[in-house]
Structure 1
Amino acid sequence: MIRYTLKCSAGHGFESWFASATAYDDQVLRGLVGCPVCGAVQVEKTLMAPAVRPARKAGGEGTAAAGPLSAPASEAEAALAALKREVEKNSDYVGMNFATEARRIHAGAAPERAIHGEAKPEEARQLIEEGVPVMPLPFLPTRKTN
C-alpha cells in the first residue's frame, strides 16, 4: 500500500491510499479519485515526505517491539487479522467471479452459502441496486498480500 498526498484542481489537499503506483494512475485515468471537499476528479500528487522510522537506540531503550514483521502492531490490526481468518474459514473464495456467483446464489441457481471474492466498483454498485446483500471487506484476499 502507498499513501499519496493529493491536491484537486480547486486547491484542496487530501490524502489517499492505493495498492500501488499503477493502481493510482489507473484510478485517476478512470476518474475514480475525487476530492472529498468538492468532488473534483482532476487531482494530482503533491510533494510528500517519506514515512521513515527513527533508528533504534542501542541498549534496548526506545526500540520497537521485537517480533516478526507479520505480527499485528496494534489491537486494530489484530482484530482485522482475526476477522480475515473468520471470513476465510467460514466462506468460499470465488475470486473475480464474485458478482456472478452472488447473483446466482441470490436467484437460487446456486446453493446458498457464504462467499467472498473481488468485484469492480461498478459491479458492486449493480449488486446493491439489484438487492443482492453484499458488503465490502476491509482487507485484501490472501493471494494478493505479501
Structure 2
Amino acid sequence: MATIIYDLECDFAHRFEGWFRSAEDFDSQHGRHLITCPQCGSSSVRKVPSRINIGSNDQSRTVADTPANGAVSAGKPNTVDVATAFVMAKQVIQALVAHSEDVGERFAEEARKIHYEEAPARAIRGQASPEECEELRDEGIDIVALPNLGPDSSSLN
C-alpha cells in the first residue's frame, strides 16, 4: 500500500507532516476535520509546499530550518545535520504515538482486522513479536517498527 506524505500547516503557522493512504484519504479526513495540528490541536490545516528540496541541482540552497529551529550543515547543501535529523525523527515518532490507538498485545490481531476490513480503518500501535511482524508483512499488511518509548510516550528526549 502506497503512502502519500503532505506538508501541512495550521492557521498558527505550525508546520507538520501528514501521512495518508491516498489523496482521497486526505480529502476525506480533512473534510471531516480529523486532521489536527500536533502543537496546538487546530483542525484548520492546509497543504503547503515542502521546505526540503533534496533533488535540487542548485548548490546554493540548503534545507530550511526544521519546526524545532534545528540548524543545517552549511558545508553540505541539501543535507540535515545529525542533531536536526534526531529532532525531526523524535517529532515524527511523537506525532505517530499521539495520533494512534494503543492496542497493546492485540496489535497483530487488530492490524489483520483493519486490513481485511473487519474493523474500522484507523492508526494503531502496540506490541508484536518479530515473527508476527514478518507474518503481517507476508500478508501485505504495512507496518513500521517504532522504538519502545516506555509507559509515557512523551519520554523520548
Tell me if both proteins adopt one fold, taking TM over 0.5 as the criterion: no
**TM-score, reference length from structure 1:** 0.44
Question: Which of 1 and 2 has greater Rg?
Answer: 1
**TM-score, reference length from structure 2:** 0.41
